[in-house]
Amino acid sequence: MNKILLSLAGLALMIWLWSEYFRAIPHLEQSGVLKNFALETEGHFSGQYQVVAKRYYSPDRRVSHPAAPVVGHFNDLAYVSNIDLLLAKEDFSASSQAQTVDFEQTQRCYQFQVTSGSSLAAQQVIANTLNISAIAASEQIAQRLRRVKAGQRIVLHGDWVKVRSASTGQYFQISPHPLPANNCRIVRVQQLQVLD
What integer pLDDT is reported at residue 46 of this predicted model? Answer: 94
List the beta bridge partners of residue 155: 48, 193
What integer pLDDT is reported at residue 125 of this predicted model? Answer: 85
Distance, in Å, from the CA atom of 192 to the CA atom of 157, rounded to the nearest integer, reads 7
Closest CA to 131 of 172, 72, 88: 88
Question: Which of 73-77, 89-93, 189-193 has the highest average model confidence (pLDDT)?
Answer: 189-193
Residue of 43 and 115 predicted with greater confidence: 43
Q: Are 175 and 53 within 8 A, CB to CB?
A: no
Question: Which of 105-114, 142-151, 173-182 has the highest average model confidence (pLDDT)?
Answer: 142-151
What integer pLDDT is reported at residue 65 of this predicted model? Answer: 47
Q: What type of residue is 71?
A: V
Q: How many residues does the chain have?
A: 196
Predicted structure pTM score: 0.80
What integer pLDDT is reported at residue 157 of this predicted model? Answer: 97
What integer pLDDT is reported at residue 70 of this predicted model? Answer: 42
**3-42 pLDDT per residue, tens:** 888 888 888 877 766 665 566 788 999 887 888 899 999 9
The H-or-E segment that residue 50 falls in is strand 37-56
Q: Indicate the SS3 state at residue 8.
A: helix
**121-162 pLDDT per residue, tens:** 888 888 888 999 999 999 999 999 999 998 899 999 999 999
Query: pLDDT band at residue 72, thresholds of 50, 70 and 90?
Result: very low
Distance, in Å, from the CA atom of 160 to the CA atom of 40, rounded to the nearest integer, reads 9
pLDDT exceeds 70 at position 187: yes
What integer pLDDT is reported at residue 62 of this predicted model? Answer: 52
Residue-by-residue DSSP string for 12-27:
HHHHHHIIIII----B
Distance, in Å, from the CA atom of 124 to the CA atom of 176, rounded to the nearest integer, reads 20
| Calculated CA dihedral for residues 164, 52, 147, 153, nearest 10 degrees | 110
Distance, in Å, from the CA atom of 76 to the CA atom of 79, rounded to the nearest integer, reads 6
Distance, in Å, from the CA atom of 106 to the CA atom of 99, rounded to the nearest integer, reads 20
* Average pLDDT along the chain: 82
Residue of 1 and 8 predicted with greater confidence: 8
Handedness of CA 12, 16, 22, 24 (dihedral sign): positive
Maximal CA-CA distance, the chain = 57
Burial of 103 (0-12, 13-18, 19+ CB in 10 A): middle
